[in-house]
Chain A
């Protein structure tokens, strides 16, 4: 095997894979996209010149790959029409929740579903900051943003997640457990 591939694989493969997985929320898709990341990495490896850390560089490529993927997807409306099962009036979800998530407690499952309601940028920030534990500065590097943009996007995404967590609580949580809410 190529020694560059070998090294990158050992050091970063699972990080990049995990990032893509949470971005697109689908294992097969993440598998395809991680291949694309390697292809782009090989294309530009000689130009990399250690300008930033390898890790933030790889994340920046992975983020571009994810964005291109979303861009190439059909309009979400078309997708929804295709997924809509007219016989049951339900949206068929062809992205089943992966087993790693289903075995977690309910709140974690809700968080996973909430990621869907974030914009691509918001999701990238949340994943890098909290799931990958990158600092604000590292996240800014990986996304090519200013630190203040990372902060505001982070703030907004937490707000989105909170809002939907509360909605999940009301719609699902109440069935199993009645907690008196004092506001």
Chain B
């Protein structure tokens, strides 16, 4: 029986009645494909084989095609004709089968389609009893350091340093389009009494020179600032004080100062993929300046503008650690992925200025993904959540 309204329970019942779906493939085939994938051939092999094959075909068939003239044309026509007949019958088959009801009247209305909206940062409610660890990873040009965070669901009373050490082996920098940097080749030990971290690199450590490696000091400082409240780091080489850096000489000690007041922009590791939300190197005097900076690309750093909202910076107000901003009345905001990331960039930038919540007054759109714009939304715990499987 059809009806116009459903209770929660009825919807649950309908969901329970959804058909069981099975994978019809033979398990041996599945396993076979797996083995192939595990022994992955280098990425250039297949394209080169294809290119060689194409060249071969051109060499063999090329002269004949030109020689054949009219005859070749005729046979091509014929083949084409047959193909359309085939296509038509295929289409008919589809009409009678699965495709019949794919086009509902609702599908036509593309605006209504809910995109797969995904938050990119880590928020309070997702962490639960877990712990969040953030690593700063150089992008593939080693220009920006990109904070990537993960939630360790079952930290088992381990310290941040234990988790930091444990997880850094599992980072998938290549898969994320970043520079493979971790694990850091050093031993970390915590001097709890003095609230100091000792970092001991081996004599043959790679951090003295090279583009990515010179970021060592920056990365260390940021990693420690993001994951702990420590203020001091002592550096050692094979147990002796100091590490020799090509550009800075011997450095025995670092002071960690929390970095603040940056604007978050977008960094696309490669076209089409979701961006990372990345703080600018420059820091700003006021949040207003930072919001203005978010409206412009930073081509020198490969960063893209992150502000999709037409904010009225002059109406900006801060009350009780909450940022109140308004948007131009007639501005168009879409409930799409890009705008959701943009909103998260706004939240993260607000956090940089010590704010805890953000409200958009008179938002022309009620909701973007999970965020109700006119309500107070808490700033994230950490940017760029990425998953690591155990």
- CA–CA, A72 and B114, complex, Å: 17
Q: Which of A1-54 contact B (CB under 8 A)?
A: 1-2, 5-6, 9, 13-14, 17-18, 21-22, 27, 30-31, 34-35, 38-44, 47-48, 51-52
Q: Indicate with 1 or 0, residue by residue over B91-122, a CB within 8 angstroms of chain A CB atoms.
A: 00010011111111111101001111110000
Chain A residues, CB < 8 A from B158:
none
Query: Smallest CB-CB separation from B154: which chain A residue?
Result: A51
Decide yes or no whether A60 CB sits under 8 A from chain B: yes
Q: Contact check, A177 vs B2: say whether CB atoms are below 8 A apart.
A: yes
List, in ascending order, chain A residues with CB within 8 A of B16's CB.
Answer: 130-131, 133
Closest CB-CB distance, A52 to chain B, in whole Å? Answer: 8
Is the pair A120, B116 in contact by a Cβ cutoff of 8 Å?
yes
Q: How far is the CA of A108 from the CA of B28 in the complex (A)?
A: 33
Docked Cα-Cα span, A165 to B33, in Å, equals 39
Chain A residues lying within 8 Å of B154, measured Cβ to Cβ, are 51-52
Asked if B118 contacts A168 (CB within 8 A), the reply is: no
**Residues in B whose Cβ lies below 8 Å from that of A76:** 113, 115-116, 336-337
Interface membership of B314, Cβ < 8 A: no
B15 and A1 form a contact (CB under 8 A): no
| Residue in B5, B105, B369 whose beta carbon sits within 8 Å of that of A119 in the complex | B369
Whether A108 contacts B17 in the complex (CB less than 8 A), given A102-B100, A161-B11, A165-B11, comes out as: yes
Given contacts A90-B103, A107-B2, contact A71 B15 (CB under 8 A): no
Q: A93-B107, A130-B16, A131-B16 are in contact. Are A144 and B151 (CB under 8 A)?
A: yes
Interface assignment of B21: CB less than 8 Å from any CB of chain A: yes
Question: Which of B107, B130, B272 touches A144 (beta carbons < 8 Å)?
Answer: B130
Q: Which residue of A lies closest to B5 (CB)?
A: A166
Q: How far is the CB of A25 from chain B (nearest CB, A)?
A: 10
CB distance from A135 to the nearest CB of B (A): 14
Q: How far is the CA of A158 from the CA of B6 in the complex (A)?
A: 10
Interface check B273, CB cutoff 8 A: yes
Tell me the bound Cα distance from A90 to B12 in angstroms: 32
Contact of A117 among B19, B97, B114, B274 (CB under 8 A): B114
The one of B4, B103, B273 in contact with A71, judged by C-beta atoms closer than 8 angstroms, is B273
Are A169 and B4 within 8 A (Cβ)? Answer: yes
Known: A13-B23, A43-B389. A102 touches B101 (CB 8 A): yes
- Residues on A with C-beta less than 8 A from B49 are none
B34 A35 Cβ-Cβ under 8 A: yes
Q: Is the CB–CB distance between B106 and A169 below 8 Å?
A: no
- Chain B residues within an 8 Å CB radius of A21: 21
> With contacts A38-B34, A67-B387, A158-B11 known, is A18 near B20, CB below 8 A?
yes
1-27 of chain B: CB within 8 A of chain A: 2-6, 8, 11-12, 14-23, 25, 27
Contact A104 B11, beta carbon cutoff 8 Å:
no
Residue of B at shortest CB range from A144?
B153
> Whose C-beta in chain B lies nearest to the C-beta of A41?
B389
From known contacts A35-B34, A78-B272, infer whether A99 and B11 are also in contact, taking CB-CB under 8 Å: no
Neighbour of B99 across the interface among A96, A118, A133, A171, CB < 8 A: A96
In the bound complex, CA of A177 to CA of B3 (Å): 10
Residue B126 lies at the interface, judged by CB distance under 8 Å to chain A: yes
Question: In the complex the two chains form, is B4's CB within 8 Å of A179's CB?
Answer: yes
Decide yes or no: A116 and B113 within 8 Å by CB, A17-B22, A35-B30 being known contacts. Answer: yes
Q: In the complex the two chains form, is B27's CB within 8 Å of A99's CB?
A: no
The size class of the interface chain A forms with chain B is 35 or more
Let me know if B101 and A42 touch, CB within 8 A.
Answer: no
Q: Which residues of A contact B369 (CB under 8 A)?
A: 119
For A40, the chain B residues whose CB sits under 8 A away are 389
For residue A80, CB closer than 8 A to chain B, the reply is yes
Residue B143 at the chain A interface, CB threshold 8 Å: no
In the complex, the answer to whether B118 meets A67 with C-beta atoms within 8 Å is yes
Indicate if the CB atoms of A113 and B106 lie closer than 8 Å: yes
Chain A contacts for B12, CB-based, 8 A: 130, 158
Nearest chain A CB to B136 CB, angstrom units: 20
Q: How far is the CB of B109 from chain A (nearest CB, A)?
A: 9
A57 to B103, CA, bound (A): 37
B285 within 8 A of A: no
Q: Tell me which residues across on chain B come within 8 A of A107, comparing CB atoms.
A: 2, 14
Docked Cα-Cα span, A160 to B335, in Å, equals 15
Cα(A111)–Cα(B4), bound, Å: 14
Q: How far is the CB of A31 from chain B (nearest CB, A)?
A: 7
Q: Are A173 and B389 in contact (CB under 8 A)?
A: no
Instruction: For A2, list chain B residues within 8 Å (CB).
Output: 31
Known pairs A73-B116, A158-B11; list 13 more (Cβ under 8 Å): A6-B27, A18-B22, A34-B30, A60-B389, A75-B272, A76-B116, A78-B272, A84-B110, A95-B102, A109-B101, A118-B114, A131-B15, A179-B2
**Interface positions of A (Cβ within 8 A of B):** 1-2, 5-6, 9, 13-14, 17-18, 21-22, 27, 30-31, 34-35, 38-44, 47-48, 51-52, 57, 60-61, 64, 67-68, 70-78, 80, 84, 90-91, 93, 95-102, 104, 106-109, 111-113, 116-121, 126, 130-131, 133, 144-146, 149, 155, 158, 160-162, 164-173, 177, 179, 181
A-B contact pairs, 8 of them (CB 8 A): A22-B21, A31-B25, A80-B110, A84-B110, A149-B128, A158-B8, A161-B11, A171-B106
